[in-house]
Amino acid sequence: YVRDWKQRHGAKAMGFMPVYVPREVIHAAGMLPVGIMGGGDAMEIIRGDAYFQSYICHLPRSTVELGLAGKLACLDGMLFPSICDVIRNLSGMWKIMFPDRYVRYLDFPQSWVGPGRDFYRAELQELQHDLQQLSGIEVTPERLNRSIVLYNENRRALAELYDLRAEEPHRVPTSELYLLLRAGNVLEVTEHTAMLRAYLDAARVADRPRRDNVRVIVSGL
């Protein structure tokens, strides 16, 4: 999908670990945001273990495996948010492994007020500048506001999906919910929103057996 989208639009794609990354800024720069969540449990990790200890979690090791296997070659860069120390290290490794691609580690403040807010604003401004240079498209206030609107529409559709699942869980099986969420990591936001709306319309009228899906709370000391 990413290769086809790039060819159709003559644009670039930016990979990212899907936690706290401002997709709106990527989108406003005319690029396709692509969420990377590792290689899944079906991937055998060989080269990834040469970069990380085997007890490190699957996500960074399999991401290295994907990169070295050429499966992420369609991406023009990668953003690594400050999820953990391992991902911080991965951003540095990525710069060494792929020196011809854009790589950035996104740091976040501990507090979103006062100095923390100013720090994060500066981080976003630097990212915006870099993406403009990479894509050749200026991130104007109009483009950024438009991207924010599109992603807010997507969030509203996701909220409706979770509301339907809470009210009538038999209509939204976990397996289908998972696939819908994963699709959002790759599809352009308007396509994903359309997919969510189409699924919601179909799910609300689907003739599926009702299940109680009793809620279970596990508590311990």
pLDDT in tens, 68-89: 999 999 999 999 998 888 888 8
148 backbone dihedrals φ, ψ, rounded to 5°: -60, -45
CA distances from 148 to 2, 152, 183 (A): 21, 6, 19
More confident residue, 18 or 133: 133
Task: Give me the percent of the chain exceeding a pLDDT of 70.
Answer: 100
Q: Taking a C-beta distance cutoff of 8 angstroms, is the pair 13, 75 a contact?
A: yes
What's the whole-number mean pLDDT along residues 193-200? 98
Residue 38 binned pLDDT confidence (cut-offs 50, 70, 90)? confident
Residue 91 tokens read as 């951003």
More confident residue, 53 or 118: 118
**What order of strands is seen across the sheet that includes strand 77-81?**
32-35, 13-16, 77-81, 102-106
Task: Pick the closest to residue 64 from 85, 34, 87 (CA basis).
Answer: 87
Say what the pLDDT of residue 213 is: 67
- Residue 81, strand partner residues: 106
Residue 19 binned pLDDT confidence (cut-offs 50, 70, 90)? confident
What is Dmax (Cα atoms) for the chain?
Answer: 56
Task: Pick the closest to residue 190 from 146, 159, 142 (CA basis).
Answer: 146
Residue 198 binned pLDDT confidence (cut-offs 50, 70, 90)? very high
CA pair distance 63, 116, nearest whole angstrom: 30
User: Is pTM beyond 0.75 here?
Assistant: yes
